[in-house]
Structure formats: C-alpha cells, structure tokens
Amino acid sequence: MKIAIIQSDIVWCDEAANIAAAEQAVAEHPGAELYLLPEMWSTGFVIEAQSVAPAEQESEALAWMCRTARSRGCALAGTLAVRVGDSYLNRHYFVTPEGVLAHYDKRHLFRLGGEGKRFSAGSDRVVVEWRGVRFLLQTCYDMRFPVFSRNRLLDGRAEYDVALYLANFPAERMGAWQSLAAARAIENQCYVVAVNRTGEDVYTRYSGGSLLIDAEGEVVARCGEEPAVLVCDLDVERLSEYRRRFPTLRDGDDFLLNR
C-alpha cells in the first residue's frame, strides 16, 4: 500500500489556510491510497476546545476529508477537535471514498498541557481495515502507553498490521519520539507510522521527524524538520513473512484494560 505522510506547519486556528495547505499537498502527490495528516491538523493543538471545535456535522475540515477521499478514490486520516453532544473530543477520523469508515477518540489526554480539562477521553480501541491492511488508530500521547496498543492474535491472525500515530510531538521530546515508536513496532510486530507537525504555535516548537518504522524497529523512511510530504510503501507481505519466521505474538501476555 502506498501511503503519503503530510508533515505540515499548521497555521494556528486558521482552518481555511490549513485545509488549503492539505489540498495542495494531496494534489502535488497524487496516487497514494492513504494520506495521513497530523493531530488537530486544521487548527493546531488548541486546548480551548469551545473556540475551535464545531459540532461534528458542521466541521468543514471533516467535510473536506470526505470530499477528497471520494473524488480521489483514496483514504485520509487525521484528528480534529469536534463537539459531539455536550462533549469535546480529539477525534481521529479514518475516511474512505464511502465516507467515515471509523473514528477513534483519544484515550490518553495530555495532562501536562491541560487537554483533559477541556476534552473528554475516549475508552475504546479502534482497528480499521482498508484494502486488506488493518490499522490501529492512535493519537500522540497514546504512544507512551504500551498496554493500550498491545497487538493480539485473533483466530490466528494479528489484530492489526499498522499502528498509526497522528501527533503534535514537541521538539524538546524528539528523543522519546523515535524510541517509543520503535518500541511499539518491535513489541507488536507491526509497522508504526508516526505523523508529526513542524513549525511553532503559541506553546512550543515542533521539529517534524515523521517516520515509518518496520516490525524490526528499523526506520524505513523519515522526514526532516521542514514541511514535507513523504510517500512510502507498506509491504504487508514482507511483514507477514517476518511474523511467520519469528512468531513472538504467540507468546505475548494478555492484559485487561481498566476502563
């Protein structure tokens, strides 16, 4: 599967500008089956949810994702701040030509930044299958919590093939970024696709470093610090062969999540 990682410099609270930038990135890199956007790609990581989170059905950014998936015959994933009922959510959308295939509400809210004071945490893990590839939907801070991402064998098959982390991960913690991504790939025998932003917001600086890591913890492809679109391939057949040769998932522990 050909994927395109869109590492953008998100314009603070300017949805129109960010949609236009995403539109240009997709148009300049046609042919990918899946386009990946960072966390809160349309606004930046804004804690004051009520100022940037429209009702889900009124989200212009989500409408653009659906239009683009339909017109280009591809899938897109990205997180958006939305309001559902009385709750504000950091919601990770996986959109296909048929519409929203799945969504995942960020479970681990970033306490240090006050995210949990404004947003409601999700509870359910979400795995979505697109064109024969199974994706675990995850968001930024989730990367630090391995129990939640634990891959399992279900009817003899790994629950997922790719752990997809969409993030706003600050420059000061980039050492942890690659180490954590590699650990999640190795322990779960999966690809990890980690999509970060670049630039600055009112809180901090971001240095990109979006990457694709294989199940052995090797970096297959990586962005630098500037805005970029990284086009690369997920070789699921190679992943399956590696799992057959080195079947560590068969010996994994079962964990129960405290909800």
Q: Would you call 66 a catalytic residue per the annotation?
A: no
Residue position matching structure tokens 């893990």: 125
**Whole-number Å distance between alpha carbons of 85 and 185:** 36
Pairing of strands 205-207, 198-200: antiparallel
Nearest CA to 100 out of 124, 122, 128, 138 is that of 128
Q: Which H, E and C letters describe 180-203, residue by residue?
A: HHHHHHHHHCCEEEEECCEEECCC
**Whole-number Å distance between alpha carbons of 223 and 2:** 16
**Whole-number Å distance between alpha carbons of 109 and 115:** 6
Q: Would you call 106 a catalytic residue per the annotation?
A: yes
How many CB atoms neighbour CB 36 within 10 A? 25
**Whole-number Å distance between alpha carbons of 189 and 137:** 16
| Active-site option among 15, 33, 66, 140 | 140
Q: Would you call 140 a catalytic residue per the annotation?
A: yes
> Edge-to-edge strand order for the sheet containing 87-96?
99-105, 87-96, 75-84, 34-36, 2-7, 228-233
| Active-site option among 74, 106, 115, 190 | 106
| Active-site option among 15, 39, 223, 232 | 39
| Residues that are catalytic | 39, 106, 140
